[in-house]
Structure 1
Amino acid sequence: MTVLSAPGTFGTLRYEALMAVRRRILWYAMAPLSLLALMAVTNLPGSIDDGVRHAGNAAVTAAMICVPGVVVALADRLAEGTRAGMGELVAAAPCSGAARLAAMLAAPLGVALLPPLLVVLSAGLMGALADGGPVPIGAALLAFGVVLLPGAAAATAFAALLGLLMPPVLARVAAALVWFWSTIATPQLSPVPTPTGTLLSPSGGYPAAAWAGQPEVLAHRFLDGPLSPPASTGWALVNLAIVGGMTVLFVVLSGLAIAGRR
């Protein structure tokens, strides 16, 4: 079927999520990294001076530590899902090819991000206990959605594209290196131009500074220029739009790569 149907799409998402749950590499990658992130953000409630800021910091920390594990675990998902012999299964799926391609990335990503979500929510709970109110829990959900999720989606789509173009081991290494290059390696540390500290970075620095109470330096990393403006709501939205556009571009390129292999 080529016509998109909601039941078919939900069924495909469910199937892909179950497949992701059974992938050992996902848990081998995400469990230790999520525990590391939890250790990094754990504070006694009495030592937290601002629950909202604590939740935002947890989202930033979890993104830096956990997203490399996501790309390592999911770099081969499209390659495995479209390997020789899978054509008949894909054709029989009760949804369009585009919907199945999106589901093959979205469902495993959702499963992979459950441990980091628990890390951020734990920080929100600790912040709520420190503040004496539920606001930090809502802030944790917001921070997860605008800081961690967009970058993880872009990184996953990029890793899956690499997985179609090179052996899985190389794709995993390359995707992880590109994540660090685009989120941590500033021009002072990188021998080649880097998007770190600009609106092109998927690190979530601009949303974190604009909406999650984080220092503005997380956005521009002490850089200036048209691509490194001061953090604000407007520029955070621009950053999210750019990262979202990158995600769509990588998915489209993956679709073209798959079509070229048939």
Structure 2
Amino acid sequence: MLQIVVDNGNVPLHSSTKVPQTEDTGKTKLMSEVQGIPVLNLDEGRSEQPGTGWVLRRGGRDVPVMTTINEEEAFEDILQFTPEDVKKEVAFWNHSVVCYILGANPSWDVIEDFVFNVWDQFGVDRVSFMDNGIFLVRFKRPEQRDALLNSGYYLFENKPVVVKPWNSDADLVKGDGDIVPVWIRMIGVPLKFWGDCLSSIAGLVGKFVKKDDLTAEKIRLSYARVLVELHMGQALPTMVYFLDEFGNKVEVKVEYEWRPVACVACKGFGHDEH
């Protein structure tokens, strides 16, 4: 046990105080004895009950010195809400969808104009904004929200608008998405393939969704404009090939109105770093 040496002549200790040799040990006392403090025996102070830690025996009582936290007690003093506490707010936002635009972050007033002009028929109640480009659209009734979710794809300046139903556990952060709708222009498609064959040709790029009106009505013939589903980061061919009914090879040029690629430099979407 550590001992602090005190001179019997009551000479104050300082850095130059001589440490007694073996023959002087009878003249030494524990500092605790000099100050009248009972000796703390750590071996006797250790609790015999597991998980309660060290105790200091003082005046016949066990005084905790360090408490070991067990799993059952770890969160007993943390504020916790019940489902009833958040029921009202959850019910309020349950009529909402979470949205963001891949490759764009327009101002609040532009987004608000877009929502009320394009989605007004669904009964929009309000548009709420976050600073990270996410906006929430609340509808007056839940069936109106469901009607929007089932109405197909929406684009903002040819960029996909990601629309997801709100839920109370959702993280309001942008995701990269997985499958996104993209309009493509197929140049050089012979007119005899503008009917049902056009969807198969578009399938060489992605999953066919629909033709635009001018293509479906065969009014604009300089290119066929088709909406397809593409995977983020997939290969984007600029030419596709197929064989006609006589076995002749036909080449079709493909242009993308928005490219589902991530920019390494800015972490945005719709362009590469060049």
TM-score class normalised by the smaller sequence: under 0.3
> TM-score normalised to the size of structure 2?
0.21
> TM-score normalised to the size of structure 1?
0.22
Q: Which has the higher strand share?
A: 2
Report 1 or 2 for greater relative contact order, CA contacts < 8 Å, sequence distance ≥ 6: 1
